[in-house]
A = this chain, B = another copy of it.
Amino acid sequence: MSMARRLVSEGLGTAMLLAVVVGSGIMAERLADGNVAIALLANALATGAGLIALILMFGTISGAHFNPVVTLSEAFQRNMPGKEVLPYILVQVLGAFSGVAAAHGMFEHPLFFASEHVRNGMAQWWSEFVATFGLIAVIISCTRSRPAVTPFAVAAYITAAYWFTASTSFANPAVTLARAASNTFAGIRPIDAPGFIIAQILGATAATLVFCWLYPAKQKDTVSH
């Protein structure tokens, strides 16, 4: 695939992911009559189902990372050239903000408005560490053992992670930045974003090291064998 196609794929895919996450969050909160569990059920169901579609749509073009730490982990494993990392991350972030704006347009909000949703403290950061560790673990494991099921495994993981982590599992720096621009159900205060992103990078690093050891790649050197 040409580089232009791959970057459009990452940008458009990340935009659609954010439209799903933020849009379904707004809809869920509007309809749920104050019951946050029902809202999160809808948000998790929509995000999981949306991810199945999006990863199947864009996976064969660009890998369907939609996530800077996934791109960094793939580059570390030499699954993509290092010089593509920066362009990938740029279009992911650009796409993420576009997706938030698209969702806000559908629900008659301003294109961007800073979130006031407080999300910080050790328990939240530990949640993001665990969430991102698991996400990278799923991706490496499935890619190396049975790649055809990866879209379903990732979507299932994120659906679960919305519920089993206290942070509802952002697990993605581009998503975190863009959700800081949405004062809705899915938002996060801009000031809280850096803590989330640091925890995500640490979780992704740990998972990459552990799972490259657990699943040694056939054709190249890996850390521990």
Contact = CB atoms under 8 A, between A and B. Distances in A.
B61 A215 contact: yes
A90 interface: no
B123 A214 contact: no
Contacts of A95: none
B163 A56 contact: no
Contacts of A41: 38, 41-42, 45
Given A40-B42, A50-B157, A28 B123 contact: no
Contact of A102 (B27, B130, B154): B130
Contact of A24 (B12, B38, B155, B163): B163
Interface of A: 5, 8-9, 12, 16, 19-24, 27-28, 31-50, 52-53, 56-61, 102-103, 105-108, 123, 126-127, 130, 134, 137-138, 141-142, 145-146, 149, 151-157, 159-160, 162-167, 210, 213-215
CB-based closest 5 A-B pairs: A23-B164, A50-B160, A31-B37, A53-B157, A46-B163
